[in-house]
Amino acid sequence: MLERAIRPPNRERLDLCVCVPARNEAESLPILLSALAAQTWPHAIALSIVVNNSDDDSLAVIENARVRTMGRLSIHVEDVKFPLELAHAGSARRRAMDNGLALLPEQARGVLVSTDADTRPPPEWLEHIARAITGGADLVGGRIALEDAEPLPHNVVALRAAWDRYWQVVRTIEDDLDPLPWDPAPRHGDHTGASLAIRAELYGACGGVPVLPTGEDRALVAAALAQGGRLTHPADVFTYVSPRRDGRAERGMAQAMQDLFDLAATGAPPRAPGFEHWCERALWRRSLRERPDGHALIARAEPLLAPMPHDMILEIAR
């Protein structure tokens, strides 16, 4: 168990390293790199990029950015050809974050910040992440916001809004029945590889990014929580992503968007677990949290529970 996961707020300066897996992202990388160079974070920004199994101009794009942002971005890039069975997001994200860990001057004050090559973080992104970490968090999840410049069909917008309302109610239930002092309302519920920060010590303690073809970001969070890590979802930590449906990662954001389009096209309302199940789950968590090491115990025990029944029809505004 990582003892530093339970500690008072720490006001010392943090060392941040942004970690990016990139596969054939020559078109997206200039947007990300410009957004990182425009951060309000007052210090030089270390950047670990792993270009994996690519055959486009990603390396040239990164080299141009290195020259253009010299003194602002300190870019470390590795070109990797993973074997076919390992050519996936889990391998690339782990390599990028492991490389980032080696770039940090010292782990005690180091923070690894995961993002994707097709994101556009707002200028205050790193500053707000650092504020959450110095406030006592060990992990910081960032909300996923879709780029307004790429409008969606009305039926897809309505379906996405219905899910947003559903999850807001779920978070309200959790905040009422099992509030977490380190993850206060108002909060969102996202903690994916597109915007996920983790203390370097905790990253090492939980074994790093699991080498999975998909879901490696969720698995990392689960392992960190099982170590006693404190995860927070500040409303002011978010990043913009493209609603594209031709992404590189298996079962990633692009596939989620395709699933949303497919479901919206059917016109059938989706089903979700009724809110009473979330009330029961929040009370179950609260009862375990009263035990010694209860926070980590929940993270280990909850995946073993039976899935909630999807017995409620999601209401979609017309």
The residue extents of the domains of the chain are: 13-313
What is the per-residue pLDDT across 192-221, written as a single tens digit (0 to 9) for each? 999 999 999 999 999 999 999 999 999 999
Give the per-residue pLDDT at 12: 65
Q: Which amino acid, 30?
A: P
pTM: 0.90
**Residue 147 and residue 253 in contact, taking contact as beta carbons nearer than 8 Å:** no
**Residue 190 and residue 114 in contact, taking contact as beta carbons nearer than 8 Å:** no
> Which CATH number does 13-313 carry?
3.90.550.10
What is the per-residue pLDDT across 124-155, written as a single tens digit (0 to 9) for each? 999 999 999 999 999 999 999 988 766 778 88
| Three-class secondary structure of residue 6 per DSSP | coil
Distance of CA 151 to the CA centre of its chain: 23
Distance of CA 121 to the CA centre of its chain: 12
- Distance from C-alpha of 180 to C-alpha of 177, rounded to nearest angstrom: 10
Exposure of 312 by Cβ count < 10 A (0-12 exposed, 13-18 middle, 19+ buried)?
middle
